[in-house]
């Protein structure tokens, strides 16, 4: 009985770990691809789209509770966004886009 439980726990842990590792490696590959040098026009378009997306996420997340704050220096903004990530349970992706938008 004891061995069965340990085995089951180990198998579940292994399966989840493998899944997570596979996910991590695929996302790393994707990140590498996206980080590859591109022509400046593409980079500019990407920056513009991230700016628009960041602004959208800023208004939909932050504007739910309070008036839009001004932009603070980047290092202050990093602390504020970390605080708000915890308090308002903002997703990691939203937090990154908001931080990027607020520090541009």
Residue 103 lies near other proteins (rule: CB under 8 A): yes
Instruction: Provide CB contacts within 8 A for 72, sequence distance 6+.
Output: 80, 102
User: Least distance to other proteins from the beta carbon of 39, Å?
Assistant: 22
User: Least distance to other proteins from the beta carbon of 41, Å?
Assistant: 22
- Cβ-contact 50, 100 below 8 angstroms: yes
Q: Assign 71 to helix, strand or coil.
A: coil
Where along the sequence are the contacts to other proteins (CB under 8 A)?
1-2, 5-6, 8-9, 12-13, 16-17, 20-21, 23-24, 27-28, 56-57, 60-61, 63-70, 72-83, 85-96, 99-100, 103
């Amino acid at each position: 009985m004891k061995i069965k439980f340990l085995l089951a726990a180990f198998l579940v842990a292994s399966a989840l770990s493998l899944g997570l590792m596979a996910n991590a490696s695929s996302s790393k590959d994707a990140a590498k691809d996206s980080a590859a040098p591109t022509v400046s026009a593409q980079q500019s378009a990407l920056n513009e789209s991230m700016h628009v997306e960041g602004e959208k996420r800023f208004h939909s997340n932050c504007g739910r509770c309070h008036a839009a704050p001004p932009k603070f220096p980047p290092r202050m903004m990093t602390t504020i966004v970390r605080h708000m990530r915890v308090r308002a349970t903002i997703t990691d992706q939203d937090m990154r886009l908001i931080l990027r938008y607020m520090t541009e």
